Amino acid sequence: MDVAALRRLYPDAFRTPWRGRLAVVAATAAVLGLAAVAMVRLDFSPARLLGGLGRLADFSLMMVPPSAGGRFWDFLHALGETLAIAFLGTLTAAVLAFPMAFLAARNVVPNVFVHFAARRSLDVFRSVDVLIWALIWINVVGLGPFAGALAIACSDFGALGKLFSEAVETVDRKAAEGVSASGGSNLHRIRFGIVPAVLPVLGSQVLYYFESNTRSATIIGIVGAGGIGQYLTELIRVLELQQVAFLVLMILVTVAAIDAISSRLRRALIGEQAR
């Protein structure tokens, strides 16, 4: 059948409601309008951007060649401190988020008040950025890597708790129902029916956050929370850009290595064959 015949037989399938078209046009106009307002309020200027490209080229030339400036071992120690901050912060967040996730999961805790309180608590921790947590903990425990680890732990506690709870809620219920049918308690249902099913997913998420927190630990070091970020902010201020380039290369190599290792571990956890 040709298109004309199909149109005669099924007119509704070829008819686009005017309300749907109007909604698409209105949504597009709203997005474009908001973008225009944001550009005006933020003083966005293509001329300023193009004018700054020359300055950016000057900075790039000042970074060549990258040089440690005789401080390689100091930089390496700071990089190790950054990795320690990321590892300890991620591990602490995962340990705290694991039990909290079961309280926030509807299929584990049917009590609406407990579920609501757990969810909102995770929202509070997740809504505060890691830099804000770093500034808070610096004022509480002082400058240094301990504040950085606490900042990452607080920020990731909310994020991992939400991801963990969603993984628990989407787990196949057959295993848990089988444990309950065989006379197991609610604790047995969680331990033998839910935890083994979600553990590979949770492990994969923790590995991903450790990889991401390696970069976050670099950023929070700029505000005084330890690690290689302290060297970065110091060297940028005095325009020692060759050493800045060397630090950036160290961070890139480290993140690439962690990404390669964690990708293999994630595939192993979820049952895929490592390539």
What's the pLDDT at 275? 42
212 or 29: which leads in pLDDT? 29
Domains of the chain: 3-62 (no CATH), 72-269 (1.10.3720.10)
Rounded to two decimals, what is the model's pTM? 0.73
Stretch 79-96: mean pLDDT: 89
187 or 22: which leads in pLDDT? 22
Cα 168 to the chain's mean position, in Å? 19
Residue 272 has pLDDT above 60, yes or no: no
Helix (H) or strand (E) holding 78: helix 72-104
Helix (H) or strand (E) holding 40: helix 18-41
pLDDT tens for each residue of 45-73: 777 777 777 777 777 787 788 887 778 88
Helix (H) or strand (E) holding 196: helix 195-220
What's the pLDDT at 16? 67
Radius of gyration over every alpha carbon of the chain, rounded to an integer in angstroms? 26
* Structure tokens given for 42: 């933020």
Contact between 252 and 245 under an 8 Å Cβ cutoff? The reply is no
Residue 176 has pLDDT above 70, yes or no: no
pLDDT band at 273 (very low <50, low <70, confident <90, very high): very low
pLDDT band at 192 (very low <50, low <70, confident <90, very high): low
Sign for the pseudo-dihedral over CA of 210, 214, 216, 222: positive
Contact between 156 and 209 under an 8 Å Cβ cutoff? The reply is yes
pLDDT band at 177 (very low <50, low <70, confident <90, very high): low
What's the pLDDT at 1? 53
Quote the DSSP letter at residue 17: P
Contact between 147 and 223 under an 8 Å Cβ cutoff? The reply is no
Average pLDDT, the chain: 80
Residue 30 has pLDDT above 90, yes or no: yes
Residue 134 has pLDDT above 90, yes or no: no
What's the pLDDT at 68? 79
